[in-house]
Structure 1
Amino acid sequence: MRIGLVCPYAFDVPGGVQFHIRDLAEYFIARGHEVGVLAPVDDLDADLPAYVTSCGRAVPVRYNGSVARLTFGPVTSSRVSRWLEEGGFDVLHLHEPVTPSASLMALWASTEPVVATFHTSNIRSRAMHAANPLLRPSTEKIRARIAVSEEARGTVRRHLGGDAYIIPNGVDTRRFAPDGAVTRWSGTPERPVLAFLGRIDEPRKGLQVLLAAMPTILDAIPATRLVVAGPGEVAEIASRLDPRVRSATEFLGAVSEEDKVALLRSADLYVAPHTGGESFGIVLVEAMAAGAPVLSSDLEAFVAVLGDSPSGRTFPVGDIGSLAGTVLELLRDPAERERLSALGLRRARSFDWDVVAGRVMAVYETVIEGADNSPVEPMLRAGLLSRLRWPMRGEV
């Protein structure tokens, strides 16, 4: 099958959508499919994978509590059209198709059967609501809609109308599987390690909540270490910290995939204190796949990832006291951490690419077969419904 994937965000800048598209492309390539990816880039000299075609340089735009790097305009439009003409794709898979970037332009220009994945949770987006009358004629070209979570599905329903199937983000769980190796981040009972991954200067990632909890944690277990991985201005944040917290915190900056895996395998507890704007929780899945017990804020998207069992512990969003208390409870209870680790490893397998990509391929095949039918008909076929059934919360 010839598959075209379009990414609206700069492909050379780390991000959940970019990683999802990269992993999906490489999964299908490894299984004999021809895959092309179109995306903007931040650095025109970036070393891109052979399957990626640049459609121009990205520019930063504030969006949904973060900064998205997008591209638009006549030059991008020309490159998108040329890529589509040369690709000869059997199916075109657009990610975030209403974001004003390459995906939207590909939707306008497409003649192939179109599948769209919606990643964002943004129920209150006034921009999407205002643009709906302009977007609706284009979105009617989409033959199958995928949302990565119930939150993303709600955004589709509210702003675009219609529905979407939930197919979550995928993780190569084998790459994260615990190997028992000792690293410089490995903790001990007397000196446990907390881990955090995310942009340190992006408020919705919640690092400020975790840092505010650290004095209480250090009062009880003075040798606790906090390892923070992610880009951002360390000096500005560090200058405002209590000296004890600064001494206990190691800022790694942006890390390689290898170091990310090693850190997650080594952590005594992975903490996700995010405060909002999350439609999924890919880092929770990665932490669980690495065997790290997980403590997260109780965002709906995170609760859904952990499942009804649950496979991790939660605390109320932004509640510093509850976060500190639960961290201490778990650090003092190695048996409970071991139980959560085992549950997390099992839960993570539900998000493995073998499962997720198989469901995406089912959508492709059904959309191609029904290309001459109405946009909704392929989604109603019983065969596809049975192939796409996703475990309810608590099922693994």
Structure 2
Amino acid sequence: MKILLVGQWFVSEDNGKIVTPGGTERYVYGLAKQLQNDGYEVMVLSATMDKGETGFNELDVLNTYIFKAPAKFYGYSIDILSFINTMKLVRRFNPDVVHVIATRYRFAAGAIAAAKIMKVKAVYTRTTLPHSEGRRRLSVLLDDWVFTRIIKRVDAIISLSREMSEILTQQINPHNMVIIPNPPVANYYKKVAKERNSILFVGRLEIATKGIDLLIKALRHVQMEIPEVKLHVCGRGDDSSLDYLLKLVSKYRLEKNILFHGHLSDNELVDRYSNSEVIVLPYLAEGAVSYVLVEAMSAGLPVVAYDLDCFCEALGDGEFGVLVRKGDVKGLADQIVRLLKDAKLRGYYSKMSLKRSKEYSQETIVRRIEEVYSDLFEVT
């Protein structure tokens, strides 16, 4: 079977290494590699805002076609470009299925419209939680009356979580939706000596959604109980967010307890996951089971997280990890201290993480996506 993956973004290459900066890129890359390993013929179509090469290329043994996106990505021109380029690739590659992966309805709508005009089966995965995107009246009207109607024409919709499926049901009422979480792109298990009293945070340094400021505030309480505690912060942020976080660290005199590592490569992340004793995910908004959570579980890390719907879903409502009421700083600190002080408890949750991660392996997740493709051609 031939699959055209139309991804809003895709991975890039830097000095011979694959760079996977965000969730959409990781989804498309992991899916493409596993499909190829499973014997599918795969082509990847994606957009870029960088100055790198466009057109046909090969990246990590994957055939790709990259087109230049406009600076104002969420203007209507992106749908026109995704439509034109999907039409071009469908004619050239002649796929059995066009699978569109995007953060919003825009970009996706153009690609789906092209697939349906060409009478090719279309699948849509949305990688962020649908919500009001704050656009002007004309844009909202067009979204409501044009984009969602195009999305309704897909042959199958893949939702990444229960919460996402509930919102999609309200917006477009799909009859053909299945819940399949993100496929991870690597195995993060590596048995090495742990750094004592080490905590890990991985994610964008966004105050509004990732809650890293709340974790720093919680660490103030942890440090009173465990003076030598170390928090390793891995991820990028804009200058204003980083400046605010550094001021917070200084305010609570935690300079010796918190290390900011910036963006890490996959290999560096493997080491960081392996060296840490606990991972803390104080996220305040997340529409799907995050890559970070799956990676941490596959590394056997005990998980402490706020009780977002997607985390409750992935952690079995507390069976496979520790859940704390969203926004509760002291409760977060108490659970971190509890785990750091109890090696037996850490061992238990480490085993539970590994057990749960098997249900989220790349092979398992992609097999379910392959079943979606196959079901499109079943005679009813």
* Equivalent position SS for 1:194: strand
Asked whether the equivalents of residues 194 and 269 of structure 1 are also in contact (C-alpha less than 8 Å), the reply is yes
Q: Deviations over 1:319-373 (max 9, x none)?
A: 1111111111111111111100001100000011221111111110111345xxx
Q: Work out the percentage of aligned pairs sharing the same amino acid.
A: 23
Match of 1:148 in 2: 160
Query: Residue type matched to 1:7 in 2?
Result: G
Distance 1:206 1:11, change over 3 A: same
Match of 1:330 in 2: 339
Query: Which of residues 181, 192, 195 in structure 2 aligns to 1:181?
Result: 192
* Whole-angstrom CA distance in 2 between matches of 1:264 and 1:59: 36
* Whole-angstrom CA distance in 1 between matches of 2:112 and 2:363: 28
How far residue 120 of structure 1 moved from its aligned partner, in angstroms, is: 2.5
* Whole-angstrom CA distance in 2 between matches of 1:271 and 1:51: 37
Match of 1:116 in 2: 124
Distance 1:98 1:331, change over 3 A: closer
Distance 1:330 1:357, change over 3 A: same
Distance 1:21 1:214, change over 3 A: same
Asked whether the equivalents of residues 118 and 153 of structure 1 are also in contact (C-alpha less than 8 Å), the reply is no
Q: Which runs of 5+ in 1 are unaligned?
A: 62-67, 371-376, 378-396
TM-score by length of 2: 0.86
Distance 1:76 1:114, change over 3 A: closer
Distance 1:296 1:20, change over 3 A: same
Q: Deviations over 1:23-78 (max 9, x none)?
A: 010001122211111111132316972422112135466xxxxxx89971655543
Distance 1:288 1:75, change over 3 A: closer
How far residue 147 of structure 1 moved from its aligned partner, in angstroms, is: 0.7
Q: Which runs of 5+ in 2 are unaligned?
A: 13-19
Match of 1:3 in 2: 3
Superposition map of 1:285-364 within 5 A: 285-308=294-317, 310-364=319-373
Asked whether the equivalents of residues 10 and 69 of structure 1 are also in contact (C-alpha less than 8 Å), the reply is no
Query: Residue type matched to 1:57 in 2?
Result: A
Distance 1:180 1:82, change over 3 A: same
* Equivalent position SS for 1:245: coil
TM-score by length of 1: 0.83
* Whole-angstrom CA distance in 2 between matches of 1:329 and 1:86: 58
Residue 24 in 1 paired to residue 36 in 2?
A: no
CA RMSD in angstroms comes to 2.5
How far residue 247 of structure 1 moved from its aligned partner, in angstroms, is: 2.2
Match of 1:380 in 2: none
* Whole-angstrom CA distance in 1 between matches of 2:37 and 2:284: 37
How far residue 271 of structure 1 moved from its aligned partner, in angstroms, is: 0.2
Match of 1:171 in 2: 184
* Whole-angstrom CA distance in 2 between matches of 1:209 and 1:237: 10
* Whole-angstrom CA distance in 2 between matches of 1:239 and 1:69: 36
How far residue 281 of structure 1 moved from its aligned partner, in angstroms, is: 2.5
Asked whether the equivalents of residues 157 and 174 of structure 2 are also in contact (C-alpha less than 8 Å), the reply is no
Match of 1:194 in 2: 199
Residue 34 in 1 paired to residue 41 in 2?
A: yes
Query: Which of residues 12, 22, 28 in structure 2 aligns to 1:15?
Result: 22
* Whole-angstrom CA distance in 1 between matches of 2:152 and 2:165: 17
Asked whether the equivalents of residues 56 and 76 of structure 1 are also in contact (C-alpha less than 8 Å), the reply is no
* Whole-angstrom CA distance in 2 between matches of 1:318 and 1:181: 33
